[in-house]
Amino acid sequence: MNDNEKKVKEISRIKKAEPVKPVERVSKIESVSRVRQPTLALSAKERQKLLKLLEEEANELVKNGLIPEKDKDVVTKAVEYALTSSFIDDDSDVE
């Protein structure tokens, strides 16, 4: 026998197989709440609220120095125009 070959000295004893545990029953999945993207299908009152929120946030960003005071009206109006152009009257179908 070649010296380089490894000699099998001992075969380890075959261990007793452990019993297979029963698979636990899958618990009932609770209903998955759907993540919905906010839509612009808003009532007139909700639209007013959104535009008020826009004004509040613009004031906050002016205060924090992001929007220069002199440009606040243009920037706020631009967002308002973009939002209101997407307020469709017949929007009841938007999912």
Partner 1 sequence: MGKPFSKKNDTEILILENRKWAESIARAVARAWKLDPEVDGLIGSALEALVECANRFDPSRGIPFRAYARRRVHEAACDAARSTKAWAEGQVFSGSLEAKARTTAYELLRRFPELRDGYIPFDREGSSLRSSVRQLLLGATIIYLKESTDSQDSFDFHDYKKLLLAISNLHVAHQWIIWKVYWEGYSLRGLAAEWKADPLTVIREHQAILNYLLGVFNKKQGLSPPKVRPSLKKVISNQKLNLGTVPFLKFLEELGNE
Compose the 36-75 pattern: x for residues touching partner 1 by CB under 8 A, - for all others. Answer: -xxxxx--------x--xx--xx--x--xxxxx-xx-xxx
Residues 10-29, interacting with partner 1 (CB under 8 A): none
**Which residue number, 12 or 92, has a Cβ lying nearer to partner 1?**
92
Element (H, E) at 48: helix 44-63
Quote the least distance from Cβ 4 to partner 1, whole Å. Answer: 45
Placement of tokens 């299908």 in the chain: 41
Identity of the residue, 3 or 69, whose beta carbon is nearer to partner 1 in the bound complex = 69
Tokens 């545990």 correspond to what residue? 21
> What is the rounded distance in angstroms from the CA atom of residue 86 to the CA atom of residue 78?
13
Collapsed DSSP state (helix, strand, coil) of residue 63:
helix
Give the interface with partner 1 as residue ranges (CB under 8 A): 35, 37-41, 50, 53-54, 57-58, 61, 64-68, 70-71, 73-91, 93-95
